[in-house]
Amino acid sequence: MRFTGQNMLQAPVEQVWDALLDPAVLVRTIPGCERLEETGENSYAMTVTAGVAAIKGTYSGACSLSDLRPHQSLVMKLDGAGAPGTIGATVNVSFSAASDGGTSVSYDADAVVGGMVGGVGQRMLSSVSKRMAGEFFSNVERAILSPPSAAAAVEVESEPGMPKVYVDPAAVPGRVSSQSDFVKGIAVGAGLVLAGVVAGALFGRRR
Amino acid sequence: METLAGNAGKGAGAKVLAGGQSLVPLLSMRLAAPDVIVDVNRVPGLDTIEVTPPWPGAGVRFGALVRHSDLLAHEEAAAAQPLLRLALSHVAHPTIRNRGTTVGSIVHADAAAEMPMVLSLLGGSVEVASVRGTRTIPADELYAGPLESTLASDELALSAFVPALAPGSGVAFEEIARRHGDYALVGVAAHITPDATRLGYLSVSDTPTVVDVTGSDDPAGAALAVLEPVDDIHATADYRAHLVRVLTERVLARAEEMTHA
Amino acid sequence: MTTKLFGTKVKRVEDQRFVTGQGRYVDDVLVGQKVLHAAVLRSPHAHAKITDIDVSDVLDVEGVHLVWTMDDLTGPMAEPLPLLIPHPALTHGRTQYALADGEVNYVGEAIAFVVAEDRYLAEDAVSKIRVSYDFLPAVVGIPAARAAKNTVHEDVPDNIGARLEQENGDARAAIAAAPHTLSLDLTIERSACTPMEGRGVVARWDPDTSRLTVWSSTQTSTGVRGCVAAKLQLDLAQVDVITPDVGGGFGVKINHPWPEELLVPLAARTLGVPVKFTEDRREHFISSAHERGQEHHVEVGFDDEGRVLGLDVEFWHDHGAYTPYGLIVPIITSTQLLGPYKPASYRVVFESLYTNTVMVTPYRGAGRPQGCFVMERTMDAIAAALGKDRTEVRSVNFIQPDEFPYDQGLIFQDGRELEYDSGDYPASLEKLKALVGWDEFPAMKAAAATEGRRLGLGLACYVEGTGVGPYEGAHVHIETSGRVKVATGLTTQGQGHQTAFAQIVADTLGVRFEDVEITTGDTRKMPYAVGTFASRAAVMSGSAIHLAALRAKEKALRIAADALEADEADLEINDGVVSVRGTDSSIDLGTVSVLSNPLRYAFDEASKAATQFSVGDPGKPPVAPGDEPGLEGKDFYSPERATFASGMHAVIVETDPDTAEVKILKYAVVHDCGHLINPMIVEGQIHGGVAQGVGGALYERMAYDESGQLLNASFMDFLMPYVTEVPTSIEIDHLETPSPLNPLGIKGAGEAGVIPSAAVFAAAIEDAEGLPIVAMPISPSELFHLRQEHQS
Amino acid sequence: MPEELHEVRLEVNGATHVVEVPGRRLLSDALRHDCGLTGTHVGCEHGVCGACTVLVDGRPMRSCLMLAVSAEGSSITTVEGLTEPDGSLSPVQQAFRDCHGLQCGFCTPGFLTTITAGLEENPDPTEDEAREMIAGNLCRCTGYQNIVKSVLRAAELGR
């Protein structure tokens, strides 16, 4: 599945470039990214919770940045696997300084979505991917414009020689329940007050 | 009670089950994995249809447990706002309509579904509740993205409201699906009032899209300027755009007729 | 014989249990008893090396009894699955393993196998298995396979599994010399059978008797039995395979053994507890077989009347990642393509290609829909080129009724000559023209055009080789109660065999229909059988049952003649009673059965009549030399070659000028399957075939993306027609040209309805739109774009 | 950890079945495997095919799109429950036999339940209404021709 897009960031191209190469920023800007582990130069192992509405899954995978042409372009390779399926993507990202001092980032992604979500989730996939990409870049923009203090990504203390690990405190705490214990409990006929504390969108149309 | 209160913190870990016609298949396919499901099917007071004030009146309010088939069969509701019945008859198949709820469909926020678009076109609203109390979300603030509504993660939709058809106004609905009862390749509804002409579209954008074409000499063109039809395995973007033109003409003509009726 | 049932619309006996929810399908077996449930981890990738499989997280999952990967399999189970139908031309045949051995070649290939307390827990466990892959480029679609930039199997150069050429005369020379020539490129996409019930298997090991009982929703219980015995290293005598009620087959269930058909029995024996596997819908889409995908190039030379002087067809068959079923499908296309015609010369060559997609095995029609599409599109093209009526061009190419048996000079799928036994194609065409209103259509079309409506009429003809060998058998046992128990080995998936076969027995034997009980697909009752495919059940088992019933009748008459002290020639059997013609002397078959088995011990009133002081000549042995006790008959039917059914379809469609939607206004079928056993059942088969054909022509396809992911692996996106998509009526007319090859003069009817669909709809849409249709299926979106290309 | 089980009382065909099931157990699985009523078939598990259709408080619903726990307190009718008390076939069942409205029989229970409810609502359907009545159920064998006939025949028998 191919999809392309363009986003305007209100920050100079140098800053955008640096942000994308900074794991502490990536962990906060990749939608749903909870944990990023440096496995080499510009390559990371990560845990991402992604999806829309109920179709969410936790994916563990890898992300690497290559073909770096500073302030011009890079290639982002992503692949991950989770309960709903597998995702592999090669994203060509190019940067250009915009007249207003901002940066225009355009991407051309070639993604392979496998597993159940690939076979039955087709109807939503491209719009969802587009949306997540947009989210990513606006996060990057926000990260640059308002260097957060409280929600700053934490570089977890790690033994010397051990890979550096970054976590996003803002991300959903704890790992999302694995398939094995999904729907641990069920409340039947809950009262309104109880229902009121329940999360998530309602479902009610059809398949 | 305790368990549920405990689940409050779980955020996205819990789901509400009403009709379940979308949630349950997601569970079966293991695409959704909530920790907790709250079945509200026996919550009292959510299964009423009120046409208020006494018909013919201002509009139709239907509760979160009103099934598509109940609303479809409701004569007063159909008389107050004909577009409800016109659109509901296109929702899946009768067996699905017997279980699926219209409010559930509306907050499921599927841009390929009929009822979110109808709510948007008619300028309806959804009433939601949480421990903080209740609030009303107007349709034009309800949809954030594909399958995403603006309900907070701890809010439950109680009911939806659509205004009645004003005198001298007309509505029409048309959709084209590959098979009878399938998701539409394109769906269009028209709402013509004495002072405005608006069109609602489904399956040609990420969220239900309404276009005001009052006075436009190329309504479909105006709509296509904002719509984003895409290719999928059933139809190309070009074909969808073509259908937008074909169906727009058809619904405008029929809605116009109704204004004279 | 009293009332003859053969040829009448007898209501089905099986329906009583089906309409009351008492049918017994494989997932119903052992319900209420202790059964464990299996789930399979399937590859999410189309092509990859497996570098590691980590099952450690599964072992501690409560309720999980067993988890297997390739490393856990030994002996024959660790070898590739059998290549069922070898062929000299299949130089690079490959089959998969029960569980992937270091490499996966399609999305859905089995990697690991889990057994747990219930299916939910088994799937939980599957989701905890972690597999590491090294990705390989996927080969998807015929163009990619031909280009061979990448290969599916590294030891198969250019992705070519087989190349087969057949020629009758010198087609290329004939074309070169012909007054007119045409060339066409024609494509049919992938589709699949998608029966409402997926695959399923249940197995129980009995340690007390060292016997394995396997229930499978297969089209061949004897085939499964052979494979299970071989792979589990058991004697055939230790394995019983029972095919219960089956929720539709349409071909996909003839392939065997599926990995689960071996893993489930092995697990049941290993654990000592019955194990069940029931395929879910998505699994069916990505791990059961597909068919149809082929691209064809046609060169044809013809004279001024449209007579085909030379036909040269080259085609490419996408057989997916493996070739368990050999070359059956492309061989059928290459031979049955000829249909009712007799081109002066014919050459056909095909390449069977590997792709990283689900394997291909026969789907109802089995290569014929593609062949029919190619031949009929060619006939229409010839007619268009000469400005002749499409029926005239066909008529001048028909094999004539006095030319049978007609040898097409080719070798058919069963390794025998392609020799048609009988048929009357000109008569069929006349019937079809009358049925659809061929001569009236131009006026109808013109009238519609004045209202801005577009109507189109298409027709297509086919010949179908049915009832291929090698054989089927039957055993008929007349009980002392007078009831008749009949067993034949092939299986049933809804064809109403229990009814049709009972009609044959009732007529042949002279017993009441209600007294006949038919069993199919149970190796305990008939261990020698082949299977249900190629529209062969009625021809093969029907004939075998007739022959076996004759043997039982022969014996009954002999014993009855003795008992009644009459001449056999004077006896007749009606409603289960043997009587001497024109007298009131008679004996019922139950008593004859008693007398057929000399007893020492009586067990009830009736049996006293057979004890040693009651019957027999003291001077002779109680059972005469060469004779057997019991009133039974057993026989086998093994024909020299297949019998050839035929038919013609016509359809009138309306295409919407705005939306490009296609509406079916009229569908007409003329069908010739020789003598009809039960016209109600035959027409039901035609209805179903036509509907499946409508799906294949206008709705159904396998949407693979370039990376080998199947994008429509559900009934949401694989558009099987509802009642709203099929014709509101299907006009059917029968022609009965009996086959000289079998005692009943019957031909097969199971697949016929689906064969001409792609051809007939392409022709009708082409007629309505005035633009060439060369690829099927076709959607409104595609027709919309064809219109645009045609305009520019 | 083991799954939490819920005791659910299912009223099926007039009989009460008390079953202990996990929250995620589908009604279709509970009917088949816990109640032993295997007449209800599962053809797709995503609500498209209709083979699993049962009557919930008289209305046809997909038992594969309902959780067993949600059926507590509802009265359910499966194909086994359509037969008359004396064991004879109901008009719909009889019509399917008369008209050859089935072949493999796998989708049949879903059609029978759907049509039974449909004829309650509309006892005298036109041919088009008969089609609409079964428009949400898939059959791969019959091409629907004889199922439509069966609906009309059942209406006749019902009169």
Q: What is the pLDDT of residues C414-465, one digit of tens each?
A: 999 999 999 999 999 999 999 999 999 999 999 999 999 999 999 999 999 9
Q: What is the architecture of the domain spanning C15-22+29-136+199-278? A: Alpha-Beta Complex (3.90)
Q: Note whether D47 contacts A206, CB cutoff 8 Å.
A: yes
pLDDT in tens, A144-203: 877 654 445 566 655 666 668 877 766 543 333 333 333 333 433 332 222 222 222 222
pLDDT in tens, B122-134: 999 999 999 999 9
- At residue D89 the predicted structure's pLDDT band, cuts being 50, 70 and 90, is very high
Q: Does B238 touch chain C (CB under 8 A)?
A: yes
d(CA C381, CA C384): 5
Quote the pLDDT of residue C675. 95
* Shortest alpha-carbon distance between residue D68 and chain B (Å): 11
Quote the pLDDT of residue A152. 53
Quote the pLDDT of residue A88. 82
Q: What CATH code would you report for C472-637?
A: 3.30.365.10
Q: Note whether A206 contacts B91, CB cutoff 8 Å.
A: yes
Of D23, D65, D133, the CB nearest to B25: D65
Beta-sheet strands, E only, within A42-84: 43-52, 55-69, 73-82
Q: Does C663 touch chain B (CB under 8 A)?
A: no
Instruction: Work out the angle between the directed axes of helices C390-397 and C425-436 (0-180°, nearest 10).
Output: 170
- Both tokens of D77, joined, read 């009718």
Strand, helix or coil at C108?
Answer: coil
Question: Is the reported ipTM for this assembly greater than 0.95?
Answer: no
Quote the pLDDT of residue A133. 77
**Phi/psi at B43 (nearest 5 deg)?**
-70, 125
d(CA B125, CA B112): 19
- Both tokens of C394, joined, read 């066909």
Average pLDDT over residues C714-722: 95
Of A190, A200, A201, the CB nearest to B109: A201
Q: List chain A residues with CB under 8 Å of D71.
A: none
Q: Does B105 touch chain A (CB under 8 A)?
A: yes
Chain B, 63 to 92: residues with Cβ < 8 Å from chain D are: 69, 92
- At residue C221 the predicted structure's pLDDT band, cuts being 50, 70 and 90, is very high
Q: How many CB atoms lie within 10 A of CB B228?
A: 15
List the single range of B8-12, C239-243, C274-278 with lowest mean pLDDT: B8-12
Q: List chain C residues with CB under 8 Å of B30.
A: 123, 127
Q: Does C684 touch chain D (CB under 8 A)?
A: yes
- Judged against a pLDDT cut of 60, whether residue C139 lies above it is answered with yes
Quote the pLDDT of residue B2. 29
The CA radius of gyration of chain B, in Å to the nearest whole number, is 18
Contacts of C323 (CB under 8 A, 6+ apart): C83, C90, C93, C94, C95, C161, C162, C352, C359
pLDDT in tens, C48-62: 999 999 999 998 889
Q: For chain A, where are the alpha helices, taking DSSP H only?
A: 13-20, 23-29, 115-120, 122-145, 192-196
* Shortest alpha-carbon distance between residue B242 and chain C (Å): 8
Q: Does A86 touch chain C (CB under 8 A)?
A: yes
Q: Note whether A120 contacts C709, CB cutoff 8 Å.
A: no
- Both tokens of C590, joined, read 């139950």
Q: Note whether C724 contacts B178, CB cutoff 8 Å.
A: no
Q: Note whether A204 contacts B129, CB cutoff 8 Å.
A: no
- Judged against a pLDDT cut of 90, whether residue A36 lies above it is answered with no
d(CA B126, CA B135): 8
pLDDT in tens, D50-66: 999 999 999 999 999 99
Cα distances from C327 to residues C20, C92, C140, C360, in angstroms, run 42, 11, 20, 10
For residues C774 and A107, the model is more confident at: C774
Residue range(s) of every CATH 1.10.150.120 domain in chain D: 91-158
Quote the pLDDT of residue B26. 83
For residues A117 and C274, the model is more confident at: C274
- Both tokens of C778, joined, read 């076709």
pLDDT in tens, B13-64: 677 888 888 888 888 888 777 778 888 888 888 999 999 875 555 899 999 9
Q: Note whether A185 contacts D4, CB cutoff 8 Å.
A: yes
Q: What is the architecture of the domain spanning D5-81? A: Roll (3.10)
Quote the pLDDT of residue A204. 27
Contacts of D53 (CB under 8 A, 6+ apart): B95, D60, D61, D62, D63, D109, D110, D111, D113, D114, D137
* Shortest alpha-carbon distance between residue D12 and chain A (Å): 19
The candidate with the shortest Cα–Cα distance to C201, out of C258, C129, C159, C155, is C258
- At residue C335 the predicted structure's pLDDT band, cuts being 50, 70 and 90, is very high
The candidate with the shortest Cα–Cα distance to C591, out of C692, C482, C473, is C482
Identify from C694, C701, C726, C781 which residue to disrupt to test chain B contact, counting B C-beta atoms within 10 A and taking the largest count. C781
Q: Does A53 touch chain C (CB under 8 A)?
A: no
Chain C, 400 to 419: residues with Cβ < 8 Å from chain D are: none
Contacts of C481 (CB under 8 A, 6+ apart): C590
Nearest chain B residue (CA) to A122: B232
Quote the pLDDT of residue A182. 32
E strand or H helix at A112:
strand A103-114
Q: List chain C residues with CB under 8 Å of B234.
A: 717, 779, 781
Q: Which residue has the tokens 């199922």?
A: D147
- Both tokens of C293, joined, read 């995908």
Q: Does B150 touch chain A (CB under 8 A)?
A: no
* Shortest alpha-carbon distance between residue A111 and chain B (Å): 15
Q: What CATH code would you report for D91-158?
A: 1.10.150.120
Q: Note whether A204 contacts B101, CB cutoff 8 Å.
A: yes
pLDDT in tens, C79-103: 999 999 999 999 999 999 999 999 9
Check residue C667 and report its DSSP letter.
Answer: E
Of B12, B43, B183, the CB nearest to A56: B12
Nearest chain B residue (CA) to C124: B30
Q: Which residue has the tokens 């033109």?
A: B245
The fourth-level CATH superfamily of domain A2-196 is START domain (3.30.530.20)
d(CA A128, CA A134): 10
Q: Does B25 touch chain D (CB under 8 A)?
A: yes
Residue C703 and residue C719 in contact, taking contact as beta carbons nearer than 8 Å: no
Q: What is the pTM of this model?
A: 0.93
* Shortest alpha-carbon distance between residue C12 and chain D (Å): 7
Q: Does A184 touch chain C (CB under 8 A)?
A: no
d(CA D128, CA C144): 46
Contacts of B225 (CB under 8 A, 6+ apart): none
Quote the pLDDT of residue A189. 34
Chains that touch B (3 or more CB pairs under 8 A): A, C, D
d(CA A9, CA A134): 11
Contacts of C511 (CB under 8 A, 6+ apart): C478, C482, C484, C505, C573, C575, C576, C589
Q: Report the percentage of chain A scoring pLDDT > 90.
A: 8
d(CA C244, CA C22): 12
Q: Indicate the fold that domain C294-468+640-791 takes in CATH.
A: Aldehyde Oxidoreductase; domain 4 (3.30.365)
Residue range(s) of every CATH 3.10.20.30 domain in chain D: 5-81
The candidate with the shortest Cα–Cα distance to B153, out of A139, A202, A175, A84, is A202
Q: List chain C residues with CB under 8 Å of B29.
A: 282
The DSSP bridge pattern shows strands C308-318 and C346-353 to be parallel
**What domains are defined for chain B?**
2-163 (3.30.465.10), 170-260 (3.30.390.50)
Q: For chain B, where are the alpha helices, taking DSSP H only?
A: 2-7, 23-28, 68-73, 75-80, 82-88, 94-97, 102-108, 114-122, 219-226, 237-260
Of C128, C282, C707, the CB nearest to A116: C282
List the single range of A118-132, A145-159, C553-567, D17-31 with lowest mean pLDDT: A145-159
